[in-house]
Amino acid sequence: MQPSSLSGLPAGVGEALEAEGVAELYPPQEAAVEAGVVDGESLVAAVPTASGKTLIAELAMLASIERGGKALYIVPLRALASEKKAEFERWSEFGVTVGVSTGNYESDGEWLGSRDIIVATSEKVDSLIRNGAPWIDDLTCVVSDEVHLVNDSGRGPTLEVTLAKLRKVNTGLQTVALSATVGNADVIAEWLDAELVESDWRPIDLRTGVHFGNAINFDDGSQREVPVDRGEEQTARLVADALDTEEEGQGGSSLVFVNSRRNAESAARKLTEVTGSRLTTDERDRLRELAEELRSVSDTDTSEDLADAVEQGSAFHHAGLASEHRSLIEDAFRDRLIKVISATPTLAAGVNTPARRVVVRDWRRYDGDFGGMKPLDVLEVHQMCGRAGRPGLDPYGEAVLLANDADGMEELFDRYVWADAEPVRSKLAAEPALRTHVLATVASGFAATREGLLSFLDNTLYATQTDDEGRLTAVTDAVLDYLAVNDFIERERDEVDGTERLSATGIGHTVSRLYLDPMSAAEMIDGLRDACADDATNTTDAMPAESGEYERVAPDDADGEPGFGTYSPVGDADDDVGDADDDTDDAAGEEDGKRTDITPLGCYHLVSRTPDMYELYLKSGDRETYTEICYERETEFLGDVPSEYEDVRFEDWLASLKTARLLEDWADEVDEDRITERYGVGPGDIRGKVDTAEWLLRAAETLASDVEGIDGDAVLAVRRARKRVEYGVREPLLNLAGVRNVGRKRARRLYEAGVETRADLREADKAVVLGALRGREKTAERILEHAGREDPSMDTVDADASASAAATAGSSGGDGGGDGQSSLGDFG
DNA sequence: TTGCGCTATGTCTAGACAGCATGTC
DNA sequence: CTAGACATAGCGCAA
């Protein structure tokens, strides 16, 4: 079937596709057309990755737009949103416009309504529905990419409920669901009233095999000789073999999947021996440049190790990397500059990074709940394998699993090579998921009674899958109780017909719109109220002692009451607790003359113990460290501190305290590398935590001003804490850090040089500013401009030496151009 | 006593969505 | 029911 033979598309689209090289539709695409995607039929396409799924979606969207409609494309990852947008923008010559909306990035509110195609994450779509985005009603076509995500217990329910809502608002909405090949695509099709196209067809052949001994044994019965010498690593040998195989003059790059960050890093280091000796001089030069760029992203060991490996043509990839690291690596890999990446599953589901050969080195991963090493899902391994085969470069892709012996090889063949992916199962009937979605469903008017709610939930995948109707009802009732107790919904019995009416309270609406887990909201409200109540009854001793030591007093009543231990301050310090270099006293706190007992640490702990913040893991020794801090700073926590004897709860509390301390360190201008070292995290983790904290603190501010019993001082305290964590600076630097292109580092340098505020920036001696910014004229000019200075030009200005010295003394190390990584507007 | 190399024991473990609008004399 | 890479402590031994 030729693209130009399709009717219903905007004029010229078929020809344009043919000009792009799509002479014939792929078989699955043809099947989709036959099933009626171009005519507005709903469709589930369960086909392998990179087999032209996107084109199926494009045909549906373009045809829908041609009929005067509007399309929504739901992506599973923020990073994919921009990738898809760029892809769809090639239709702009046919008048098709594209907009993106994710938590991160938004191509302007009102404006979205005028776009023909909108790309968004499922959570963002959910949020837009909750907030009543007007264009939702205008949708005629929705595409859900990677629908098998409904199987995920954390995020699946959101996708499920969101699709149900879209279809409810918009009867006759064309639903196109793109899925990996899963065990029960038919059930998904049944749920969505859609036609089903299922296929294993791939445009680039994929050979899957298992390496054992001296050869890879492929699923098609062929073998490839890859002898492993004694003392040599299987992985290294396979990567070398791919590189040495010249196909059309190209050595093939590889992707190695491993099961932990540490393994990813150590594998990358080992693989430098393979890649380093196979580089041209030109590649070496370009890699050195890339390495410098990577180093300047962040002053951490992770950054350094990554750059060292990259200089040799090898890289690692995991969520501890900063996002700038990740995209630099991905781009360089696509450009074939980097020869091998060893990665955790980040890369399996993320942006498109095909390789000639994929090596699945580890097929088991630690899982605490499982109690050991758990075999990966078949679906996950298939996704990894699916990354093999670069379109236009490789005649076929190779995916290789590793076995140590014949038995192992047989097991891998049975378990993964021959196996079909697991069926997808809805995870909706769980309290955390329903807590959020029941509230949102009631708040945004999709249901007004318990029965209405249950009948709405009948439109979900869960309902079409389950044979146990009772379970969903039971969990829903439990959740309704929870929401009512916490004052998020109201239940009123109608005197006439006896039905129970459900409605969201004011605060319930707010929680729904803020996209908070109601439990997070409840925790934050309780904590802040508690602090304000203490404040009112206890104004004189509410002041936290600056350096006081606290000694725990065991609960005085040993009866069965599950109460909390009581703690009281003790005047005399008898030992030296805490790092000397780590004083967190915040002199600036007193500057406004009004002391509130809500400290940043208190705020950070409050949001850290919320279910919306995922926990940092307590390592050995952490228990003691943080128990100690818990007593030392007992007065700062908002709400009750659980007793040390209440094991599980206390453990969670300490884990949250660890997160809170990380945030506090960040807000105290502790160097990034100190933080990564101290908490055992990567630069990417810090950014993630900071972002989440920022979001939750902002939500806490909104809640606090909406709710009874929380005073204005508390709101201000939360705001201050939020700004400090947002910019990563102490109080006095807040003003400076608000200037674009001034992050925590530049703000500190300017401050040390005597430029203390935005206003100073406009008045200050340019030589001083330039000195503080280490002589970088362009940076200085941009900053002055953003500060509102009339004449930002730095021509004829010489850097002031003493300012430069003061600035350097203030911060450690860190050269390279990309400093100030905490500022959003930074560029390379 | 010092230094070395070995083994027993202990430690640690993937990923990632959301909101929101800034400041000024 | 289930792991494995790596670091560190602890030990025996030889010089």
Contact by Cβ (8 Å): A455, A473: no
Mean pLDDT within A259-284: 92
Residues A721 and A765 in one domain: no
Strand partners for A207: A398
Mean pLDDT within A92-118: 87
- Strand B contacts in A 722-741 (CB under 7 A): 723, 735, 738
Residue A9 belongs to some domain of the structure = yes
Query: Which residue has the least CA–C1' distance to nucleotide B15?
Result: A346
Residue A508 belongs to some domain of the structure = no
State yes or no: pLDDT of A17 exceeds 60.
yes
> What is the band of A32 on the pLDDT scale with cuts at 50, 70, 90?
very high
Sign of dihedral through CA atoms A805, A811, A815, A818?
negative
List all nucleotides in chain B with at least one atom under 7 A from a protein Cβ.
10-25
Q: What is residue A231's predicted lDDT score, i.e. its pLDDT?
A: 64
Which residue is listed with tokens 């086909």? A47
| Amino acid present at A484 | A
Separation between Cα atoms, residue A175 and residue A637, nearest integer Å? 48
A582 CA, B4 C1': separation in Å?
A: 39
List all nucleotides in chain C with at least one atom under 7 A from a protein Cβ.
2-3, 5-6
Residue A495 belongs to some domain of the structure = yes
A450 CA, C10 C1': separation in Å?
A: 66
State yes or no: pLDDT of A661 exceeds 90.
yes
A642 CA, C7 C1': separation in Å?
A: 34
Separation between Cα atoms, residue A155 and residue A374, nearest integer Å? 21
Q: What is residue A655's predicted lDDT score, i.e. its pLDDT?
A: 92
Strand partners for A382: none
A84 touches strand B (CB under 7 A): no
Cβ neighbours, 10 Å, residue A767: 17
A363 CA, B10 C1': separation in Å?
A: 25
- By residue count, chain A amounts to 828
Q: What is residue A308's predicted lDDT score, i.e. its pLDDT?
A: 93
Residue A211 belongs to some domain of the structure = yes
- Spell A639-677 as b/e; 16+ CB within 10 A means b: bebbbbeeeeebbebbbbbbbbbbbbbbbbbbbbbebbe
Residues A343 and A468 in one domain: no
Q: What is residue A230's predicted lDDT score, i.e. its pLDDT?
A: 67
- Domain span at residue A293 reads 205-417
Residues A659 and A544 in one domain: yes
State yes or no: pLDDT of A556 exceeds 50.
no
Q: What is the CATH number of the domain that holds A84?
A: 3.40.50.300
Q: What is residue A253's predicted lDDT score, i.e. its pLDDT?
A: 92
A257 CA, C11 C1': separation in Å?
A: 39
The nucleotide whose C1' lies nearest the CA of A371 is C2
Q: What is residue A156's predicted lDDT score, i.e. its pLDDT?
A: 96
> What is the band of A623 on the pLDDT scale with cuts at 50, 70, 90?
confident
Q: What is residue A33's predicted lDDT score, i.e. its pLDDT?
A: 97
A269 touches strand B (CB under 7 A): no
CA–CA distance from A638 to each of A366, A475, A602, A609, A710 (Å)?
35, 30, 6, 11, 12
The nucleotide whose C1' lies nearest the CA of A317 is B14
Q: Please count the structural domains in chain A.
A: 5
pLDDT tens, position by position, A131-158: 999 999 999 999 999 999 999 999 999 9
Residue A632 belongs to some domain of the structure = yes
Separation between Cα atoms, residue A326 and residue A291, nearest integer Å? 13
The nucleotide whose C1' lies nearest the CA of A103 is B18
Which among A153, A172, A198 is the end of a domain?
A198
Helix axes A683-706, A600-608, angle to 10 degrees: 100
Residues A42 and A75 in one domain: yes
A231 CA, B6 C1': separation in Å?
A: 20
The nucleotide whose C1' lies nearest the CA of A404 is C4
Residue A608 φ then ψ, to 5°: -70, -25
Residue A669 φ then ψ, to 5°: 65, 25
State yes or no: pLDDT of A809 exceeds 60.
no
State yes or no: pLDDT of A827 exceeds 60.
no
Strand partners for A811: none
State yes or no: pLDDT of A589 exceeds 70.
no
Residues A66 and A99 in one domain: yes
Q: What is residue A96's predicted lDDT score, i.e. its pLDDT?
A: 95
Contact by Cβ (8 Å): A191, A390: no
A159 CA, B6 C1': separation in Å?
A: 56
Q: In chain A, what's the furthest Cα-to-Cα distance? A: 87
Residue A301 φ then ψ, to 5°: -60, -40
A616 CA, C2 C1': separation in Å?
A: 26
Which among A198, A224, A259 is the end of a domain?
A198
**DSSP label at A414?**
I
Mean pLDDT within A502-519: 96
A130 CA, B21 C1': separation in Å?
A: 20
Q: What is the CATH number of the domain that holds A655?
A: 1.10.3380.30
Residues A104 and A130 in one domain: yes
Q: What is residue A828's predicted lDDT score, i.e. its pLDDT?
A: 25
Residue A285 belongs to some domain of the structure = yes
A698 CA, B20 C1': separation in Å?
A: 8
pLDDT tens, position by position, A178-211: 999 999 999 999 999 999 999 999 999 999 999 9
Residue A821 belongs to some domain of the structure = no
Q: What is residue A109's predicted lDDT score, i.e. its pLDDT?
A: 59
Mean pLDDT within A396-420: 91
Residues A650 and A741 in one domain: no
Separation between Cα atoms, residue A21 and residue A23, nearest integer Å? 6
Which residue is listed with tokens 């002589």? A775
Query: Which residue has the least CA–C1' distance to nucleotide B11?
Result: A620
Residue A614 belongs to some domain of the structure = yes
Which among A150, A170, A198 is the end of a domain?
A198
Name the average pLDDT for chain A: 86
Strand partners for A566: A553
Footprint of strand C on the protein (CB under 7 A): A 262-263, 266, 364, 366, 370-374
A515 touches strand B (CB under 7 A): yes
Any idea which of A365-369, A572-576, A632-636, A715-719 has the lowest mean pLDDT? A572-576
The nucleotide whose C1' lies nearest the CA of A263 is C5
A250 is in an annotated binding site: no
Query: Which residue has the least CA–C1' distance to nucleotide B12?
Result: A619
Residues A674 and A568 in one domain: yes
Q: What is residue A405's predicted lDDT score, i.e. its pLDDT?
A: 84
Residues A548 and A669 in one domain: yes
pLDDT tens, position by position, A228-269: 876 678 899 999 999 998 665 567 899 999 999 999 999 999
A106 touches strand B (CB under 7 A): yes
Between residues A540 and A650, the one the model is more confident about: A650
Residues A325 and A389 in one domain: yes
A215 touches strand B (CB under 7 A): no
Token digits for A608?
């850290």
Contact by Cβ (8 Å): A120, A72: yes
State yes or no: pLDDT of A553 exceeds 70.
no
Residues A493 and A611 in one domain: no
Q: What is residue A227's predicted lDDT score, i.e. its pLDDT?
A: 87
Residues A232 and A310 in one domain: yes
Mean pLDDT within A473-491: 96
Contact by Cβ (8 Å): A746, A773: yes
Between residues A539 and A787, the one the model is more confident about: A787
